[in-house]
Copies of this chain bind each other. A is one copy, B any other.
């Protein structure tokens, strides 16, 4: 692509580095910004720079945070004895958006995947074991993806947590089954089989 301006070329190349944005989309975004007021573009540019410079990770749960302790861990209305273990901060947002969960989180920063060279030492596992040792935690919910790596991580974590001396912590996983609105006949066999094995009393279903 030929640009008559080096300024535009640089901006397009920077946009095109992002996932899912090619040169043509990058150009469209840059031309859109060109039409905006300079002050508005300045605001956009500053929001991005500030976000990356000032963002911190919560000392307790490793979630993104504006402070040393994130707003979830700092909240008095949260149940601190209930810890939900997730892979990344996007999962925290997904669960928060359901507005149904009242406990706190622990962000692993990934899952155990030998094929990608990710072992337990690269993840925030040590700090989870410490939390269970030092704080009063009654239940740890494993909210990891139902893949081989996810199951491996759940197995590894459960062995680690069950080895913590003192009161044994209750370990649970989120329910697997047919999604709401999902068609039974299109569900894979494993999900269908598990959803029959782990069938629920009608009262639970009606509650939703």
Contacting residue for A51 out of B10, B54, B96, CB 8 A: B10
B residues in contact with A10, CB < 8 Å: 47, 50-51
A90 near B: Cβ within 8 Å? yes
**Alpha-carbon gap, A93 to B20, bound state (A):** 22
Verify A30–B14 contact, CB threshold 8 A.
no
B3–A93 touching, CB < 8 Å? yes
Q: Which residues on B sit within 8 Å (CB–CB) of A33?
A: 18, 48, 51-52
A66 touching B20, Cβ below 8 Å: no
Q: Interface stretch among A34-42, A146-154, A190-198?
A: A34-42
Interface of A: prevailing SS: helix
The reply to whether the CB of A169 lies closer than 8 angstroms to some CB of chain B is no
Nearest B residue (CB) for A99: B2
**Do A97 and B1 form a contact, CB below 8 Å, given A34-B64, A45-B45?**
yes
Tell me whether A31 and B89 are in contact in the complex, defined as CB-CB below 8 angstroms, given that A11-B51, A48-B11, A52-B41 are known contacts.
Answer: yes
- The answer for the CA separation of A36 and B55 in the assembled complex, in Å, is 12
- Which of the listed residues A5, A38, A70 has the most CB atoms from chain B within 10 Å of its own CB? A5
Let me know if B30 and A19 touch, CB within 8 A.
no
Contact with B along A45-89 (1 / 0, CB 8 A): 111111111110000000111100011100000000000000001
